A = this chain, B = another copy of it.
Amino acid sequence: MSIRIGIMGYGNIGKGVEMAVSQNKDMEVVAIFTRRNPKTMKGNHPFVSVDEMDKYTDRIDVMMLCGGSATDLPEQGPRAAALFNTVDSFDTHARIPEYFEAMDKAAVEAGHLSLISGGWDPGLFSMMRVLAQAVLPQGSDATFWGPGVSQGHSDAIRRIPGVKDARQYTMPVETAVQAAREGRAQGLTTRQKHTRVCYVVAEEGADCQAIQEAIVTMPNYFADYDTTVHFVDEATLQREHQGIPHGGFVIRNGVSAADTPQTVEFSLKLGSNPEFTSSVLVACARAVYRLRGQGRTGAQTMLDLPIGLLSPLSDQQLRARMV
C-alpha cells in the first residue's frame, strides 16, 4: 500500500514535493491544497481548497506543509497537526523551540506525528553538526553556505531604483573552508566566511555607479561583506542565472584524546535548492509514516529519526546491502 501524501501550498517546495514523490514507488500524491481557487489550477493531481482539508483526514497519511516560515507555518502548522501527520521545512532557526512546542502540543493532543524543520539546513546539516560533535567532542565546527542563490538578497537588490532584475550568489571563501578543515576557523564570522556576488540588469539610462554603491553599502545585507557587482544584460541573466543552485559544507575538525587530528566533512552541491529540500522532506514523510505506525506522536526533528526509516528498504535489506 502506498503512503498517501497531501501537499499544502504549491510554490517551489510544493512543486518539488510533487516531483520527488514521483521518484518514490511507495508513495502517491492524493491532493494538493491551495488558498487559490482550485478551479484555476491545472496539473497531474487534484487541487482542493485548503478550507476543505478536514474532509481528507482519512485519505491522507502525511500532509506536507509547503508554506513559508515567516507567516504561513506558524499559523498553518498547528492547525494541520491537529488533523494530519505532517512534515514541514520550518527554517527560522531562532524560533524552532517555540514552533516545536506549538506543533508538539497540537500533534500530541490529536495523536499525530509532526516532523518539523526538515530539509538540508535545518535538516541534514543539523544532523551532521550533532553527529560530528558527538563523535569528536573536542574540536570546532563550521558551516558554510553556497555557492548558492539567496532569494532575499536578490530581492533587496531589485528594490534599488534603476535595477530591472538581479540575482545574488552567496559564496564560501575557499581559504576559510580550508582553515575549517585544518581546525583554524574558530572565531571566523559568517561574514568572514562568505562573499557576495551580484548580477544586475540595470534599466536603460540608469546610473550604474550609483546602483553599485547602493548595493555594497546596504546595511545588514551587503555592507559588511566583500561584495562584487557585475552588470549584465537581460538575456545573459535569463540564460545563465535562472537556476536556484545552492549547497554548502559542515566541517568539524577535532582531536581524539591522544591529540590526533580527525576531520569530518559533509557537503552538498545542489542544482536546485527547492527540489533538493523537497526530496529530503519526502524521505522524512516515509519515516513519519513508519514512526506513527510504531505509536510515536508529537513533534520531532530530523535528529529524532533513525536514518534507516528514511529508506524504502526494509531493515533486513539495509543490513544485507547497505551496512
Q: Are B96 and A323 in touch, CB under 8 angstroms?
A: yes
| A126 interface hit (Cβ, 8 Å) | yes
Contact of A96 among B20, B136, B319 (CB under 8 A): B319
Residues of B within 8 Å of A315, CB to CB, are: 303-304
Interchain CA distance A304-B291 in the complex, whole Å = 12
Q: Are B269 and A266 in touch, CB under 8 angstroms?
A: no
| A14 interface hit (Cβ, 8 Å) | no
Most B Cβ at <10 Å: residue of A22, A243, A319: A319
Specify how many copies of this chain sit in the oligomer.
2
**A225-253: which have CB < 8 Å to B?**
243
Q: Are B272 and A258 in touch, CB under 8 angstroms?
A: yes
Interface size class of A (residues with CB under 8 A): 35 or more
Q: Are B256 and A262 in touch, CB under 8 angstroms?
A: no
Within the complex, the shortest CB–CB distance from A3 to chain B, in Å, comes to 13
Q: Are B96 and A280 in touch, CB under 8 angstroms?
A: no
* Proximity bits, A249-292, B CB within 8 Å = 1, else 0: 00000011110111111111111100110111001001000000
Q: A96-B319, A256-B271, A304-B306 are in contact. List 18 more A-B contacts (CB 8 A).
A: A96-B320, A124-B131, A124-B264, A133-B322, A134-B310, A135-B276, A135-B279, A135-B310, A136-B279, A262-B271, A265-B266, A266-B266, A302-B307, A302-B323, A303-B315, A303-B322, A303-B323, A305-B306
A contact set with B: CB distance below 8 Å: 16, 19-20, 22-24, 93, 96-97, 100, 117, 122, 124, 126-127, 129-131, 133-138, 181, 243, 255-258, 260-272, 275-276, 278-280, 283, 286, 301-308, 310-313, 315-316, 318-320, 322-323
**A-B pairs with beta carbons under 8 Å apart, 17 shown:** A20-B257, A100-B319, A134-B307, A135-B310, A256-B271, A258-B272, A258-B275, A260-B275, A262-B269, A262-B271, A263-B268, A263-B270, A301-B308, A303-B319, A303-B322, A304-B306, A304-B308
